[in-house]
Amino acid sequence: MADKRNPTATDLLVEALLPGIIESIVDDAASVSVEHAEKELTEAGFDVVDGHADAELFLAELETGTLGARWDIDREKKRT
């Protein structure tokens, strides 16, 4: 990749096309139902129930101001 002062033709092409590609990807993802997304995640081996539990815990920690405390405790256990 060339520096910013001397972009190559490829750099210019990517710069011109990337915003449209990203918008298309976001639009595609936004149009998928939750049920469909969860089905695909489950088929890919992702534990959706565990993912929901982690998200709920994250939100609870965010609300109570304890975000990260769980990981700090885990880090301390690994050090000892």
Structure token digits, residue 77: 């256990």
Quick: pLDDT tens for 41-61: 999 999 999 999 999 999 999
Q: How many CA atoms lie within 13 A of 18 on its CB side?
A: 6
pTM for the predicted model, two decimal places: 0.51
How far is Cα of residue 57 from the mean position of the Cα atoms in its chain?
A: 17
Q: Would the CA dihedral through 25, 30, 32, 35 be positive or negative?
A: positive
What integer is the mean pLDDT of 1-30? Answer: 87
